[in-house]
Structure 1
Amino acid sequence: MTPSRRQFAHTLAAATGALALGSASAQTSQTQATSRLAPIYPKRLKAGDTIGLVSPAAATYEREPVDIAIESLQALGFKVKQSPYLRGRYGHFGGTDAQRAESINSMFADDSVDGILAMTGGSGCNRIVDKLDYALIRKHPKFFGGYSDLTSLVNAIQVQTGLVTFHCPMGASEWNEFSTSHFRSVVMEGQAALLRNPSDVKQRGDNLVQTQDRIRTLRGGRARGPLIGGNLAVLTSLAGSAYWPDFRGAILFIEEVNEYIYRVDRMLSQLRLAGALQQLSGVVIGKFTKCTPGEGYGTLTLDEVFDDYFLPLNIPVFSGAMIGHIKLKFTVPVGGEVEIDADAGSIQLLRPAVL
């Protein structure tokens, strides 16, 4: 075979292989595109139920925060079962990877436990996301909640089992009237709740206009879909894994804390490059607390970053929702069907998130 023919044959073989690979990839993508599980709704929590308190992320170094968390849950009417590793520590984690995973698996397996709540966030949940027994969880569905670093677990459990989980206050959170009332309405009373920022000016210092917790509409309109999301950094860290949410037709909600703006930009770029943003039906931007320019010359503002990534999508988007590292927070069902109104800045649950 002449060099030119040999080169042509190699080129043809490579092209054929690429087409075959592309076809295989397309088949894989098609398979993944039909993999969203039907939602499983946990039973609503009620007074007298037992909450399993676990520490799947950072360690709690002092005794009093744990005591306060237990007393807060008891004040809500619950009994509290402490994980054997609740006060554990391995480095800055609340126990070894095996211990932290076992604390969740055992709470799901325990029929005397009605729901599971994380003590606190921090970091470490990604280390155990592949150590949970998802078949067990699917057989014993129950309330599971937390936020911040728990973003990886609430999304992973929802993706792997279909169980609706909750981005909500944790044991160590401030259980004020606002947060408690939203938790009760969604998780305990089973309301198809309307989540909307407070707008009573007089409650906020008699200003002529509202100056706190304002809603900004990036693009108006309404959209429906299952809720996915949470902390932006943790969410993007799941990209490429089996625990990455299905973004097709979903409503994405995001929040962040203590990240420079250029890092927020990079995280949103990752979502765009992964093809996630282009599949959404709507976006809810929560609080980006202490997300500053940092050092260096010049920066885009958060508003400009959000405009750059979300306006080209031509879908409803609003920012400022009471979701994130803040004192007053919504309880948000991950995997729950909702409708957002970007003009009103609201999230309407289309059905109760619990049975």
Structure 2
Amino acid sequence: MQSAYEYVDVVRPPRLRAGDHVRLVSPTGPPARADVDATARRLESLGLRVSVGPSALDPAAEADRIRDIDQALRDLSVKAIVDVGGGTGAHRIADDLDFSTAAHLPTLLVGRDCTILHLAFWERSGLAGIYGRPDESFAAAAFGTEPVVLRSEPDSHTAELTTSGQAAGVLLGGDQEQIATAAGWVLPSLHGAILLLEAYGLRAEQIDRQLTMLERTGRLKGVRGVAIGRYTECGPGPVLDVLRERLAPLGVPILGGLPVGREAIPVGTPAFLDAQAGTLTIESAVS
């Protein structure tokens, strides 16, 4: 990893160790009990102690979801907060969390469906996190401090968007719809960043509108590179053509075909994108 990142002030939570306590919360909406149980078993198999937030199984009120996260942030025994939600409502609480505690007593935030919370914690606290679910790749990202390397998969449909060149910058982003939702309030500056993009269930015209809005409002100004995962169940319409038309004018290296979502990866930390080599190397989110 290049040394040009020394100026980046990243707040990294401590890495997880066997015996650590992690808390399951549902900031995005009601989860399926089976999913909560499966996540708990997976984490326990890694030697972690698991508790479930008081409102995690029935997060009907926004105040309950906020309270579960804030209590976990303030509990010195909790070393990671894991999203097990099953909805899309994280944006409704993204402005109301205890960002001061997160900055001074950093706790690892883990989740795939809470992109807007990752963005908010970075924008308000400088806090790095893990984007993805606690699957097979989670241990390397959460227990170790070595860089994580993602490799482009040639058979992935977004691989054809790959260009050439290299780029270095803090990796920010995730779900495209939540990135667009965050614009104007909790979306951090992307100047000098590598933008991470993936999406699920968007129509081509939605993808076009969101990326056009981000570009026309100047939110993509200064982006150094774009890392693209899968656009799953998106369409009908020329999704890849839309992505190419919206992203190519940025004039930065683009790397598609990344297994984002299947792999648990750091976000909010310096990264190096090498389009020719087909790799995205990301510094650890933990210390």
Q: TM-score range by the shorter chain?
A: over 0.9
What's the CA shift for 1:345?
Answer: 2.2
Among candidates 222, 228, 233, match of residue 279 of structure 1: 222
CA offsets per residue over residues 126-161 of structure 1, 9 Å max, x none?
11112101112112102111112x011011011100
Among candidates 266, 281, 286, match of residue 333 of structure 1: 266
Corresponding position of 2:4: none
Write the distance in 2 (CA, Å) between the matches of 1:311 and 1:230: 19
Corresponding position of 1:79: 49
Among candidates 198, 211, 220, match of residue 268 of structure 1: 211
What's the CA shift for 1:97?
Answer: 0.7
SS of match in other structure, 2:22: strand
Corresponding position of 2:168: 224
Write the distance in 2 (CA, Å) between the matches of 1:121 and 1:230: 17
Query: Is 1:165 aligned to residue 133 of structure 2?
Result: no
Write the distance in 2 (CA, Å) between the matches of 1:64 and 1:310: 39
CA offsets per residue over residues 299-350 of structure 1, 9 Å max, x none?
4x122112211112211002121114xxxx122222100000112221112x
Query: Is 1:151 aligned to residue 88 of structure 2?
Result: no
CA offsets per residue over residues 37-90 of structure 1, 9 Å max, x none?
821111101211111110111102x433322221111112211011011111xx
Q: CA 1:197–1:49 in 2, change beyond 3 Å: closer, same or farther? A: farther
SS of match in other structure, 2:195: strand
What's the CA shift for 1:197?
Answer: 4.0
User: What is the one-letter code of the residue matched to 1:103?
Assistant: D
Corresponding position of 2:286: 354
Q: Extract unaligned runs of 5+ from structure 1.
A: 1-35, 89-93, 199-209, 294-298
1:6-21 counterparts in 2 under 5 A?
none
Corresponding position of 1:55: 26
CA offsets per residue over residues 250-277 of structure 1, 9 Å max, x none?
0001111111111111111111111122
Write the distance in 2 (CA, Å) between the matches of 1:65 and 1:186: 21
Write the distance in 2 (CA, Å) between the matches of 1:211 and 1:128: 38
Contact 1:214 1:320 in 2 (8 A): yes
Query: In proportion to residue count, which structure has more helix?
Result: 1
Write the distance in 2 (CA, Å) between the matches of 1:265 and 1:233: 11
Contact 2:130 2:267 in 1 (8 A): yes
Corresponding position of 2:73: 108
SS of match in other structure, 1:220: coil
Write the distance in 1 (CA, Å) between the matches of 2:8 and 2:150: 25
Corresponding position of 2:179: 235
Corresponding position of 1:306: 243
Among candidates 238, 246, 253, match of residue 316 of structure 1: 253
Corresponding position of 1:136: 101
Once the two structures are aligned, what percentage of the paired residues are identical?
30
Write the distance in 1 (CA, Å) between the matches of 2:101 and 2:264: 25
Contact 1:217 1:343 in 2 (8 A): no
User: What is the one-letter code of the residue matched to 1:154?
Assistant: H
Write the distance in 2 (CA, Å) between the matches of 1:155 and 1:277: 15
Corresponding position of 2:275: 342
Among candidates 144, 154, 157, match of residue 189 of structure 1: 144
What's the CA shift for 1:278?
Answer: 2.8
SS of match in other structure, 1:184: helix
Corresponding position of 1:5: none
**Of 67-76 and 230-239, the range deviating more from structure 2:** 67-76
Write the distance in 2 (CA, Å) between the matches of 1:66 and 1:311: 40
User: What is the one-letter code of the residue matched to 1:190?
Assistant: T
Corresponding position of 1:9: none
What's the CA shift for 1:217?
Answer: 4.6
Write the distance in 1 (CA, Å) between the matches of 2:27 and 2:85: 8
User: What is the one-letter code of the residue matched to 2:142?
Assistant: V
Write the distance in 1 (CA, Å) between the matches of 2:161 and 2:275: 6
Query: Is the radius of gyration larger for structure 1 or structure 2?
Result: 1
User: What is the one-letter code of the residue matched to 1:165?
Assistant: G
Query: In proportion to residue count, which structure has more strand?
Result: 2
Write the distance in 2 (CA, Å) between the matches of 1:262 and 1:213: 18
Q: Extract unaligned runs of 5+ from structure 2.
A: 1-6
Write the distance in 1 (CA, Å) between the matches of 2:206 and 2:156: 25
Write the distance in 1 (CA, Å) between the matches of 2:273 and 2:74: 35
Instruction: Let me know the Cα RMSD of the aligned residues.
Output: 1.8
Contact 2:227 2:258 in 1 (8 A): yes
